[in-house]
Homo-oligomer: A and B are copies of this chain.
């Protein structure tokens, strides 16, 4: 019955935290500055939800993630006293989010799932970010779909329903795959099916497990290969 799988990306497909910490380390070496880069990476990610919420509430006009990331980054660099970096270098650092590395199972799992389903991103990342990420990491999407196309960030229902409409499937023929229960619950609310993939290291070694009720989602998998097994792909 499910025809297409839509994947959340940050945390679900790619390991943003270790990628961003590594990029910040290179940035620090290049510019001769030292800092607790893990804390800065976590702060950068932490700023993302409230920034999107400002867009969702209408306090900001539509603003894509590249620009939200840049606003947050400038604040964090300022607070850390890192102020003598050129605009081009800050821009390069900001695009670290285009260069995130996939989890070890992502490419192999997507390649199997693609045999059986249409596979797309459904991410709050903007189109160019997702396209550059896929190109670099070899993610074999059938197409790239972003909240940018709807001017509605997840968990707004417009994002989930807009994805189904573009793929020309009904909401129940579309399954969101995500490592985040909130995203999955909003997808279910919009009529989609939901597959929860645990990513216990997304927020680092001390991450607490998400609270999920037994049987809350259609599938629960430890990674994309396990999901492919369960879906017969």
Residues of A within 8 A of B (CB): 66, 114, 118, 120, 126-128, 130-132, 134-135, 141-144, 148-149, 166-169
Q: Determine the residue in chain B with the shortest Cβ distance to A126.
A: B168
* Contact B148–A142 (Cβ < 8 Å): no
A65 to chain B, nearest CB (A): 11
Contacts of A120 in B (CB 8 A): 131
A90 to chain B, nearest CB (A): 16
This chain: how many copies in the complex?
2
CA distance A131 to B118 in the complex (A): 8
A7 to chain B, nearest CB (A): 14
Q: 21 interchain pairs (CB within 8 A)?
A: A118-B131, A118-B132, A120-B131, A126-B166, A127-B166, A127-B167, A127-B168, A128-B166, A128-B167, A128-B168, A128-B169, A131-B142, A131-B143, A131-B167, A134-B142, A134-B143, A135-B142, A141-B143, A142-B144, A143-B143, A149-B149
Contacts of A141 in B (CB 8 A): 143
